[in-house]
Amino acid sequence: MGVIGSATSESTTSRSIRPCSSGSHGIVDSDPARVDLIAERYGAKVFRNYHELLSQVDAVSLAVPTEKHYDVAKDVLSAGVHLLVESRSPTSSNRRTP
């Protein structure tokens, strides 16, 4: 199991990593200090980009900003990796269409 992004709440990340404590798991985030802290707390391997992570896991929890969901999710699914997208309710009717 992998986590791409840590969103704004570490609890989101921990819910994704904890169930996988017996298997391999990794995390990637744009903030090196934050990702190192979370990885140390949960024993996850740190990846510096999500493409490297995708070759090591069967599933990921996507916790990136909403405006990045489409592009990252497309890459995850194209890699044949199962995907859980964490999303808040939209605040406007503006949506990105493929």
Residue 1 or 74, more confident: 74
Predicted confidence at residue 53, as pLDDT, reads 94
At 89 the pLDDT is 59
Residue 9 has pLDDT above 80, yes or no: no
**Model confidence over 44-58: pLDDT tens digits?**
899 989 999 999 999
56-96 confidence digits (pLDDT tens) = 999 998 888 888 889 999 999 999 999 988 766 555 555 55
Cα 58 to its chain centre, rounded Å, is 12
Q: Which numeric CATH code is attached to 2-85?
A: 3.40.50.720
Give the chain's end-to-end CA distance (angstroms, integer). 27
Distance CA 54, CA 87 (A): 20
Q: Please give the torsion angle defined by the CA atoms of residues 88, 83, 64 and 6, in that order, rounded to the nearest 10 degrees.
A: 100
pTM for the predicted model, two decimal places: 0.75
Q: Is the dihedral of CA 27, 84, 7, 14 positive or negative?
A: negative
